[in-house]
Structure 1
């Protein structure tokens, strides 16, 4: 397996996040990617390379120009408010909720920070743009390598991406790597691509980006949003709109879900993927379904991740894996690489 590694991921290092009303150390931290990289090296699972940079217009195929412009300059604007902000992360405090306008971009930086965000738990830091952009490079390179003949690739990067929408960040995510990978495959000549999201949390950003399209099938297994983040999207009755009707499949699962029920849902997802007959698959690879994860209430064990990789391999599709969530750092490398090894050794 060819891995594209974001060597600049640690430039995004949040000091803290707001969690259940308190400032706590960030769950999404550089040690996550470091753990996966170390385990890849220990097992010798293919080559690890750095990505080539992709032009901004590639990001504009998924994200709006004004959102990208905001992200690129946000830290400098934060410093312009007060030089002392160099020692603080930027968090939003206001949002354009129902009855308020989001079409007019405010001049005030704090108002724009809220306009382009969905929560108060995603710190924007000095290196956020650099880390996120290089991560997007990894995802697009991973997709392109499939077009060059690779059977499987892995974008090892952080911050993750599947909560980021076309014009907003949140859930630790700034640029939607899985969506960028899928869009690149289409722009490079494929007609149908599928995205399978197996993170504990629903990939609301990915769903919203492709919700009215039939050239990308989005299938997600995740915790029931009535009780888990992102709360406001991910229900089973969200099946797409317009041309995309029937091309969005959500499989929400109850708290406490174990391997038997989870793999039953995976089988449903795989059958739907086979019916769609995509030419390539992008997997949002989150392993926060692990029993020891601090943000999860599922109970998968490390050995289960080998089975996941094996099942996905039997779909017989060129597959790009994109690293998403997983916050039990001690076991994280083993769990992620188990999926990749299971995939590689199945066929």
Structure 2
């Protein structure tokens, strides 16, 4: 088992969060990574500092103009000559029929909602979040000894809501999609197993018409719950990708038993697909006391989840994404890691 992270992921520090009609306290904060990093330290597990892989795997998934916006949008925002605040943030959402002339138009085009502001150091963290994930993928691509069968990436900001050309849901670059695409250089079939509280509509959209990447997600029912426009059972894929997108939306208030009933169904789909590599999008926001939770998973439940993923007996890259009950992230990650280490 190998764990990756990078300190520069802490530089992104959102000041604004506009959701459901009002400004709210940002939940995707640097303290999340600080707490996550405590778990391997307490357990005596080494954390490897991610090395730079480069921009090319990112551009294999995301539009060039969109990546340029993420990288340079803050500079353009501050150079506009207007008093517009300290973050790139918009209340105008116009992705279509938008020529992107001016930073306000670009924000309207590339920011899908009010939860993904861009500050002075955001791009640095966004970039190193993707690089952290890519380190695990590169390890598998170069591994001849099968020493990299389980790899964990402590990443922020998260990625599964990011579309090819827009940010939203605290996400900017779609790490799961980036590493899945990167892995296809060597492997034939990749399965993305998403157990975050929210549906990863960005992953779904990117691979919706393809059969080389299976996407299966267990998440809260998206009716009146983020991302609201995707994640329903009838969304099965398109063209040759039909049947390779499987959603398991949970009724709000689902207990731990119900959560694992859905997870088990998702795992059976993965087994049937028989992938070469599994990418597990792990969200600690399914924890019972998380401010985003619509289900009730206990700390011990994360140990159970880890055992189920390990039992698939495939190379797996685990992307730690959601989870906003900061005071429990350390404990919950320790439970998950103990499930991976367990000999049971």
Pairwise same-fold verdict (TM > 0.5): yes
Structure 1 Cα separation of the partners of residues 221 and 117 of structure 2: 25
Please give the TM-score of this superposition, normalised by the length of structure 2.
0.95
Task: Report whether the alignment pairs 1:287 with 2:284.
Answer: yes
- Among 240, 243, 257, the residue aligned to 1:246: 243
How many Å apart are 1:83 and its aligned residue?
A: 7.5
* Secondary structure of 2:295's aligned partner: coil
**Cα distance, 1:304–1:294 mapped onto 2, change above 3 Å:** same
How many Å apart are 1:22 and its aligned residue?
A: 3.0
**Cα distance, 1:202–1:346 mapped onto 2, change above 3 Å:** farther
Residue correspondence of structure 1 range 11-90 to structure 2 within 5 A:
11-45=11-45, 47-82=46-81, 88-90=86-88
* Secondary structure of 2:172's aligned partner: coil
Task: Report whether the alignment pairs 1:121 with 2:115.
Answer: yes
Please give the TM-score of this superposition, normalised by the length of structure 1.
0.94
Residue 164 of structure 1 is matched in structure 2 by 162
How many Å apart are 1:84 and its aligned residue?
A: 5.6
Contiguous gaps of at least 5 residues in structure 2? none
How many Å apart are 1:57 and its aligned residue?
A: 1.5
Task: Report whether the alignment pairs 1:215 with 2:212.
Answer: yes
Structure 1 Cα separation of the partners of residues 299 and 320 of structure 2: 16
How many Å apart are 1:344 and its aligned residue?
A: 2.7
Contiguous gaps of at least 5 residues in structure 1? none
* Secondary structure of 2:191's aligned partner: strand
Structure 2 Cα separation of the partners of residues 214 and 25 of structure 1: 40
Residue 187 of structure 2 is matched in structure 1 by 190
How many Å apart are 1:145 and its aligned residue?
A: 1.8
CA contact (8 A) 1:314 1:346 kept: no
- Number of residue-to-residue matches in the alignment: 340
Q: Deviations over 1:190-227 (max 9, x none)?
A: 00000001000000101111111111000100000113
CA contact (8 A) 2:74 2:87 kept: no
- Among 87, 103, 110, the residue aligned to 2:104: 110
How many Å apart are 1:90 and its aligned residue?
A: 1.8
* Secondary structure of 1:107's aligned partner: coil
Q: Deviations over 1:101-128 (max 9, x none)?
A: 25xx321211111101210122211111
Write out the 4+ residue segments of structure 1 that deviate beyond 6 Å after TM superposition. none
How many Å apart are 1:144 and its aligned residue?
A: 1.9
Structure 1 Cα separation of the partners of residues 120 and 71 of structure 2: 10
Structure 1 Cα separation of the partners of residues 19 and 343 of structure 2: 40
How many Å apart are 1:286 and its aligned residue?
A: 0.6
Structure 2 Cα separation of the partners of residues 40 and 21 of structure 1: 39
CA contact (8 A) 1:115 1:168 kept: yes
